[in-house]
Structure 1
């Protein structure tokens, strides 16, 4: 059944997870363990058993004054719960930008969680001490390996990040950053001195962005609710907007499912919006949360969508689960 053409109402959550005592800011699925991770505004990180719908681990990983703003997962780190930090990175700045762990370009049939580079690096991008700059860190060595700077600091703070290893051999990455003034900048880490591309498609801060599996396009969302689907060619240095939606107010997060067929956005209007990525059209609007929805995430097996809200709940949804042994398009 296609939600876009059916007259039936959008589905209710399969389950609601309620152990948080503060706004849920961010979500991530960890494929090796089959668990869901969630972080809240009080700095608490929870790991959920999705069969029993209860947390199996909870820890105050950041102070309540800071909260948890980003969670990066990597299959290369294996299935481990570590109660003490193995690495702490101090950005020496206060910002609202989620971190990004680099993954490899994929086809639609491959995992999006292949996060180790050719030289064994696990790379992470964060907003830096100067919040207009992007720092690249190697998690395996605990060293900062690059600093990416815009040509003009008037773009303001870095608000969103995505990073992929480029196709072929080596550890070169494409890094895309969304900025406070509505600009998007793209770097090739082989040439870090200046961005490859800079384009201003939004009037308000770019709060969220994601690249597709092959790394040839993606989606960006802004504070004013504009959603832009785009393609780019890093070789020819061309950025092309493909479709724009005037969507929900304040698109704080975007999740693209691993098969690049559907994506979800979270909004200040308390809703989760679902879109067909390939056909560039809306499919459904999910209503459960009573407050702003801060984060969304798809499971790697494509069966689950999780949404986290300022109302302190995590909702678990089942939308267009793929049939066993088939990769047919969403209908």
Structure 2
């Protein structure tokens, strides 16, 4: 049994919050880090100088912040906050601070722990990286080819970090579906899609069935625990949503057919706690309460056949899209 190396020390420890830090996210293009705490405080940090640039209370202190999100898809100088008060707010970063009032406030009336998701788009420069599937002792690797004075001083430098809104930047980020946010709904087993421009609900997954239509119910799967919205190239810009549920199952939805999911899988025996789609929107990873981290592909083409090599070191899959994928598995399965 190999001895595990100790984890590295952090390059810095950022202090200033007065309550538990509940979520954080990096600015999409600048050396900034946004953090939110259980008392409703939002802080933005300079990750180079390790100082607070701005601090503001953005949600009720009694409920606090559940999650934060930044993305170039909603604008370079915006941050989304989700509170446990049933609201989602969009804030503009301007003039060395946050806008006095949010540019958008969405009243979702949902009160739980599932974090919101902005829409992820594939990056043309994305590449597959090595991934690992953990299951307790087994490991299978799958491979494919600050204080107030400091705060005041930091505000003066804040404008240095705000990027110019070039036309190229806007052309690369403004696509269909990019102005939406996915959240667990008022009904805990449902997911709602809200328009950030109008603060109106755009869709519900699953969509309520009407007379003569077929559909499914997600009630038996339990609460929605994790959600990831994305726009794969195969969907021609239409929104897709990956949802993890309390029973360990996951559903993949295409907004064009909100009544029935594209597919359903159950990789976990306990609630799914986190989901993330990779930069190419062709694969993802999920973590759950069963101590498993699972790496998987998101394929639109039908898989017609799979096969293991005699020594179980290789796996091959045959696809409707005319390709054959070859996978290496470590260690060999017995």
Q: Tell me the TM-score range normalised by the shorter chain.
A: 0.5 to 0.7
Question: TM-score when scaled to structure 2?
Answer: 0.64
Please point out which of 43, 46, 50 is paired with 1:49: 46
Contact 1:173 1:188 in 2 (8 A): yes
Q: CA deviation at 1:173?
A: 1.6
1:82 lines up with 2:99 in the alignment: yes
Q: CA deviation at 1:126?
A: 0.4
RMSD: 2.9
Q: CA deviation at 1:108?
A: 4.1
Question: TM-score when scaled to structure 1?
Answer: 0.64
Q: What are the ranges of 5 or more consecutive residues in structure 2 without an aligned counterpart?
A: 78-92, 128-168, 207-215, 307-326
Cα deviation code 1:137-187 (max 9, x no counterpart) = 121232221111153311111111111112168540220011111111110
User: Residue in 2 aligned with 1:286?
Assistant: none
User: Residue in 1 aligned with 2:57?
Assistant: 60
User: Quick check: which has more Rg, 1 or 2?
Assistant: 2
**Which region of structure 1 is more displaced relative to structure 2, 137-146 or 35-44?**
137-146
Cα distance between partner residues in 2 of 1:159 and 1:8: 32
Q: CA deviation at 1:45?
A: 0.9
Q: 1:227 to 1:168 in 2, by over 3 A?
A: closer
User: Residue in 2 aligned with 1:291?
Assistant: none
Please point out which of 28, 33, 37 is paired with 1:40: 37
Cα distance between partner residues in 2 of 1:120 and 1:222: 28
Identify which of structures 1 and 2 has the higher relative contact order when contacts are C-alpha pairs closer than 8 Å and 6+ apart: 1
User: Residue in 2 aligned with 1:22?
Assistant: 19
Please point out which of 80, 91, 110 is paired with 1:93: 110
Please point out which of 215, 226, 229 is paired with 2:292: 226
Contact 1:105 1:167 in 2 (8 A): yes
The total of aligned residue pairs comes to 237
- Secondary structure at the counterpart of residue 220 of structure 2: helix
User: Residue in 2 aligned with 1:183?
Assistant: 249
1:31 lines up with 2:22 in the alignment: no
User: Residue in 2 aligned with 1:243?
Assistant: none
Cα deviation code 1:174-211 (max 9, x no counterpart) = 20011111111110111111111111221111010101
Cα distance between partner residues in 2 of 1:132 and 1:237: 29
